[in-house]
Amino acid sequence: EAQVTQNPRYLITVTGKKLTVTCSQNMNHEYMSWYRQDPGLGLRQIYYSMNVEVTDKGDVPEGYKVSRKEKRNFPLILESPSPNQTSLYFCASSFSQGLGEKLFFGSGTQLSVL
């Protein structure tokens, strides 16, 4: 089944404790990205990747890191999480950057930073 897999689904952590949210897609998609969803703000892009070893900042990259060592994986790293990073996170992928290419989303990761 074609899918984007995110783990974990829920995560509670404390300020400053490094964490990684994994994302993997099995559709051989070139493009992958991370979004965070906050009430009243919709989804905002954190980072995106156009291919292996090619990443770039989205609209809200501060406090986050990403890597794209393999085509299928695009982990999101929070080196020193803070409470303002409490949010619902989505990984997404698409085959290309074509105009009509829809995004396929993971099921989301609800992160709480205490």
* Residues forming the site for another protein (CB under 8 A): 31, 33, 35, 40-45, 48, 50, 56, 58, 88, 90, 92, 94, 97, 99-100, 102-103, 105, 107-108, 110
Least gap, CB of 50 to another protein (angstroms): 5
Least gap, CB of 64 to another protein (angstroms): 15
Give the nearer residue to another protein in terms of CB position, either 26 or 80. 26
Give the nearer residue to another protein in terms of CB position, either 17 or 90. 90
Using CA atoms, how far apart are residues 97 and 86, in angstroms rounded to an integer? Answer: 29
Least gap, CB of 51 to another protein (angstroms): 10
User: SS3 for 66?
Assistant: strand
User: SS3 for 85?
Assistant: helix
Give the nearer residue to another protein in terms of CB position, either 22 or 105. 105
Least gap, CB of 23 to another protein (angstroms): 14
Contact of 12 with 21, CB cutoff 8 Å: no
Using CA atoms, how far apart are residues 52 and 60, in angstroms rounded to an integer? Answer: 21
Give the nearer residue to another protein in terms of CB position, either 91 or 113. 91
Copy the structure tokens of residue 85.
Answer: 């990073």
Using CA atoms, how far apart are residues 80 and 18, in angstroms rounded to an integer? Answer: 5
Token look-up 């509670």 returns 12
